[in-house]
Chains A and B, each alone.
Chain A
Amino acid sequence: MSRAATNALKTVAGLAIALTAASIYLIFFVAPAEEQMGIVQKIFYFHVPSAFAMYIGFGCAALGSVMYLVRRSDGWDALAVAGAEVGMLFCLIVLTTGPLWARKAWGHFWTWDPRLTTTLLGALIFAAYLALRSSGDAGEAERRFAAGLAVLALPNLFLIHYSVQRWRGTHPTVITKGGGGLAPQMVPPFICSVVAFTLLAIWLLALRVRMERQHQRASALTMDALRLGLGEDDPCD
């Protein structure tokens, strides 16, 4: 990676950390509590940006997988793996913070609402993807099968987003189309959190892509070394 790219990555990381700190201040000291739900509504400020970050991660995984199936390039494969991991991280955040809010707002942790169900489905598909890729040096067949799974998950991403508009459910639709919007004092912390989590996702994604590329190169060099007789059990030892 070039020096400029490394510096850009450091800048993104610094901005993400600074904006996350600013978000926490705005959420707890500036944003008012919600009239009906009280203080627990503040979960929303990290829950929704995590969902955006999840879309970024899973979207990159799907894009990388499609391109890998077309071009069979290690770079696209690295993007797919990184996207699946980062998407899963933020999906786990969504699937844990949401039920904690729901316990107070709905009286129970989970309901088979369309958005919750499609999000869980997405998590399960990408869990299968990561399980397939967990062996480290996945072979061509595992890579292709995993890429197929990520492509299969792509329509589900749209279903997650549009499920609240197309089907009846209990999930709130505050900021999406048809929603009532936020109180003016709630907007700055929300925007700050969205920017912070988006930068955080980009930073983690870029770091993970770089690591995956290094891992791919190290694996290729190890194979070359073995081919040249420089393995563990070579006569030089």
Chain B
Amino acid sequence: MRLKALAAALIAWGSSALAFAQDAGAETAAQSRSTQFVAVRGPQTEHVPGGALLIIAYGIVFVLLLLYVLRLFRLQAKTDETLAQLGERIDRADRAGADGAAEAKRAERG
């Protein structure tokens, strides 16, 4: 009986100690945030390279603008090509029409 009581007491103590330990480790919402700002010691250093980000940003701006201007040139070239093909077709049709008319005249005379 005493042995059982001793075991129960040990289990109760152990579990309460474990719970206490968990409580001690847990942070409140306020504690999980930064609570103070500490001044830098020595020379100021930056972990995120601002200069590199700036150069990349400006580089992207000019690359995108250049690519769009190139796209406009390509579109213009495509339209010019379509118009040139149309011109060729009209010229061929004109020549064929003129040849056909001359042949018809010759046939009439003959």
Contact = CB atoms under 8 A, between A and B. Distances in A.
B72 interface: yes
Given A38-B46, A40-B50, A93 B90 contact: no
B50 A207 contact: no
B60 interface: yes
B51 interface: yes
Contacts, number: 86
Interface in A52-100: 85, 89, 92-93, 96-97, 100
A225 B76 contact: no
Interface stretch (A111-119, A156-164, A174-182, A210-218): A210-218
A215 B81 CA distance: 11
Given A93-B64, A214-B79, A225-B86, A237 B53 contact: no
A237 B92 CA distance: 8
B54 interface: yes
Contacts of B60: 93, 96-97, 100
A46 B65 CA distance: 12
Chain A interface size, under 10 / 10 to 19 / 20 to 34 / 35 or more: 35 or more
A39 interface: yes
A46 B58 contact: yes
Interface string B57-85: 11011001100100010011011001100
Contacts of B83: 218, 221
A92 B56 CA distance: 14
Interface in B18-47: 46
Nearest to B96: A236
19 contacts: A37-B50, A39-B51, A39-B54, A40-B51, A43-B53, A43-B54, A43-B58, A46-B61, A50-B61, A89-B65, A92-B64, A100-B60, A104-B48, A107-B48, A214-B76, A222-B82, A225-B86, A230-B93, A236-B96
The 3 closest A-B pairs by CB, nearest first: A40-B50, A97-B57, A218-B82
